[in-house]
């Protein structure tokens, strides 16, 4: 898994690209990005030719955003490249956090 950040020089935003490798999801048909920036509504990541799933989102600089991945609408996973982790507040699981 990987997270890349590209900060805008002219706007107070950062383009964050979330990527989940094919090995991590082991043949999954779909992977969605779910976080507080999209009101925890699943946003599909696009499957790449190499099997990696990717999506880019513009997020406000100077903030922290909690998120997780939903694999095949059934299995929740965190990003091992997250900046930190916080309790989900819903279960014993933690959410990944990207810090901008």
Tell me the pLDDT of the chain (100 aa) as tens digits. Answer: 799 999 999 999 999 999 999 999 988 999 999 999 999 999 999 999 999 999 999 999 999 999 999 999 999 999 999 999 999 888 888 999 999 9
Given a contact cutoff of 8 angstroms between Cβ atoms, the answer to whether 67 and 95 are in contact is: yes
The domain made up of 2-99 is a member of CATH 2.60.40.10: yes
Where are the domains positioned within the chain? 2-99
Q: Going by DSSP bridges, is the β-strand pair 64-71/53-60 parallel, antiparallel, or unpaired?
A: unpaired
pTM for the model stands at: 0.93
């Amino acid at each position: 898994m990987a997270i890349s950040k590209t900060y805008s020089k002219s706007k107070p935003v950062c383009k964050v690209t979330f990527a989940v490798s094919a090995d991590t999801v082991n043949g999954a048909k779909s992977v969605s990005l779910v976080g507080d920036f999209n009101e925890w509504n699943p946003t599909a990541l696009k499957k790449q030719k190499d099997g990696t799933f990717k999506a880019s989102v513009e997020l406000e600089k100077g903030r922290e955003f909690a998120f997780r991945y939903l694999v095949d609408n059934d299995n929740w996973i965190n990003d091992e490249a997250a900046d930190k982790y916080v309790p989900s507040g819903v279960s014993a699981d933690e959410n990944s956090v990207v810090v901008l």
